[in-house]
Amino acid sequence: MRADAKRNYDRIVEVAGLTFREKGYDAPLDEIAKRADVGPGTLYRHFPTREALIDAVMQNWIASVNESADKALAHEGDARERLMAWFEEYAARLTVHKGVAAKITAALGDETSPMKNKCQTYAAANAKVVEALRAEGAVRAGVEPLEVLRLIGGIATVADQGNLPAEAVRPMLAVVADGVLR
C-alpha cells in the first residue's frame, strides 16, 4: 500500500472508531469520510461494506483480548478475583463502542455472522479463563464457557443501553461469578 493510501486507511479507521463510539455502528459512512477528510470513494475503496470498516475498527480492539485473558489469570488473588478481573475487562470491552455489546452477544455461536471471528476470539479467551479455573477445581460442574460469555454479554448490553457506570456493573458480574464458581 502506498504511504498516502496507508495514511488515509489509518485515518478512516481512527475516525470511524471515534464516530462509532459516539453514534453507534449505524453512523453514516459519508459522515465518517467527511470527518476523516477523505472522499466517499476513498472510504469505499478501502472498505467496500460497513462490515469491512467495522472489522478494521475492531481489529486493534480484538488483538488484545488474549492478553487480557492471560492478565486476568495472572491476577493476584483467588479464583473469584481472577474471574471477576476477566468479567470486568470483557464487559468494559463490549461497552467501549456503543451498541456492540448486543451485536457481539447476539452473534455468539452464529457461524454465519459477519462478527464470527470476533466472537470466536472472545469465546476462546473466555474458555481459556473458565477452563483454567476448572482445572483448579474452582468451577461448578455443568458450567459451559459459551453460556458464561452470553451472561456477561447480557450484562454488558444492559450497561451499554442504560449508560451504567462500572460501579453499577460490578455487582451484576459478581452474581454470575458466584454462580460459576464452587
- For residue 106, which of 61, 171, 142, 160 has the smallest C-alpha distance? 160
Could you tell me the CA-to-CA distances from 177 to 76, 82, 159, 173 in Å, in that order? 17, 10, 17, 6
Q: Give every CB contact of residue 174 below 8 A, 6+ residues apart in sequence.
A: 84
CATH class entry, domain 3-58:
mainly alpha
Q: Which fold has domain 64-180?
A: Tetracycline Repressor; domain 2 (1.10.357)
pTM metric for this prediction: 0.72
Taking only the tens of pLDDT, the chain with its 182 residues reads 799 999 999 999 999 989 988 888 899 999 999 999 999 999 999 999 998 998 888 776 677 788 899 999 999 999 999 999 999 999 998 898 788 899 999 999 999 987 887 889 899 999 999 999 999 999 999 999 999 999 999 999 999 999 999 999 999 999 999 999 99
* CA neighbor of 95 nearest in space, from 53, 51, 157, 152: 157
What are 118's three cell numbers?
470476533
Instruction: Locate the domains of the chain by residue range.
Output: 3-58, 64-180
